[in-house]
Structure 1
Amino acid sequence: MKVTTPDRIPLVIDIGDNISKIVLPQPFYAPNNIYFYKSQDGLTLIDSGYIESIPLLQAALKTIGYSLKDIRHVIYTHNHLDHISSSLVLKSYAPKVIFYGYRAMQSGVGNYLESMYLFQEATEDLFRKAFAEPADLERILRESRKGWNQFYSKFKETKKGDPMLKIDVAIDHNDTLELSGETFRFLHTPGHNLYHITPIHTQSGVYFSGDLIIANLTAIYSQLDGSLGDYYFTLSKLLEEPIRRLLPAHGNEIDDPQKTITLVKKTLSILEKGVIRRLKESSSDLLHLMEAAIGKKVHNGGHLPTALGLVYSIIQKLVLEGLIKIETRDDGYETFHLLG
């Protein structure tokens, strides 16, 4: 993969508290916010983006007199494609960089490409649960595989990549580190993802929320590595934190962190009540429950599998509570029935 200057270079934006932000477009979801601190030693980044976005990151840094070689530290919030896949090749361009991430992430993920094959399989299983019509299922599988193949092909294009996920410094819950003069505390914040951490810049009270909180919406997590119970617990613990600023990995800064976190908890409760209410009216399936809860517009973006995963996690919770039973067809398609 060549690091070249693209036609459209992302802006480097000063957002205060000595933090700069680059918004990197990427093919799967909303653009990624890459936050970083500058020092005499070099750059400290929060996430480094999707593998295909490395040329854009390089070009943006050049506009302020830096390059990939100046990156000294990268703190990874979690191991989803759009946040960490660039790490598979980044050390070829930033030889002095040190990667930081949750302790269990490296051993839990291992070969990143193999982990993504499992992720793809789990996503396709979710589609099979949701789509009743074979033609619709085949169409959505074809579209999904096109995106996955794009990622695999981009990794294969480079001669410098390593499929093994490497974390140089393992982070535990509530650890504190000083990186190039900036002090960070770290919270293990699972729910969206098993290995998710929230870095906190202790001098300024800035929290980098990754994918936990996005805009004023519930952060939708994967069925493969997310947990509804963990998510509720994480949100409750965050409400105890003295958050001054909350910077998400996608979208704009959260205006009122405490109010937004409370709203997200309420949104989850509303979604759960909505699923129960609709099943009282009649039995239904995952696709229609998701469309009723989140809207059909989800089909037009890259959020369909994660939206389905969110609603399916609610279904699983209700099954464990004895409120719902699942009827499964031979091809994997499921319908849900309210008990009692």
Structure 2
Amino acid sequence: MPFPKEPFPLHPIGPFARSSRTVAPANCIVVKSSGEFTSLQAAVNSIGSSTTPTCIFLNPGTYNERVEIKVKAPLTLYGSTTDTGSYKKNTVVIQNTLGSQDAGSLDASSTVNLRSNDFAAYNIEFVNGYTAGQVVALTANGNKTGFYGCSFKSYQDTLYVKASWMYFSNCYIEGAVDYIFGNGHAWIATITSNGPGYITTSSRTESTDTSRYIIDHSTITSTGTRDLTNKVYLGRPWRVHARVMYQYSTLTNLVRPEGYSPMAEGATPVFQEFGNTSAGADTSQRKYFTPSTKALTKQDLWGADFKWYDTSY
């Protein structure tokens, strides 16, 4: 089901029509430090079993909480910002500090655990500040979920693209070890390493599975706190049929010449690259490399119903 346009505009502003959004759109639930809803979880809980399209606007601030989102209604979250087209001026942070060992599972460690379909988030920063083991900032386990001008920060297992269709546009994803992982159909933007390790860890298990990651027009860079020259792998296969495409991206000298590293025993992954530039784009020493003669499109990823996302981004 595509995102509905009523009773409020779900996709009012794209990156080429940049503007401020410092006031809640009409009919949105409002979250702020003093008011009826002081946490995102309380606002989500207020939706109950409703199926009416709903939006939540978060005023500037750091919200220290762990959030479970499982609603029937199509839901859009808006963070207050002076630049809707970028993550760089976001003022809303959803933050928690919890590792999977203490939480009992990856999903349970997530700062935000999303289990709803037809979901969008704009200009919000998702952070898991735990410093050891698997620490998930966001688990995305819903169909047709879009993130626009958002950022995701952790160290290991930052972004769990667990299943179904996902779109990350003008977003920032930071981590070190396996920090984009899962079995989703994901279109992904800017990537930043904060330590040596592996960017992607696809868990595609069957050769007939249509899932893959497409890293498009991205830049592989570092936070600048450590020298990561030749210390970052583009990925490794968590499951035997892992599938990832890097296209039209800037692969800097952080990327190791072999590109990919072993993980699952007997893996036959499809790791492709097309049209990339910079020092890490040389494919002559790649491991597991599958040549590609063309870039992939959103229709390749999602099929005929590929225009479900906010096309203004």
Largest Rg, 1 or 2:
1
TM-score strictly above 0.5: no
Q: TM-score, normalised by structure 1?
A: 0.25
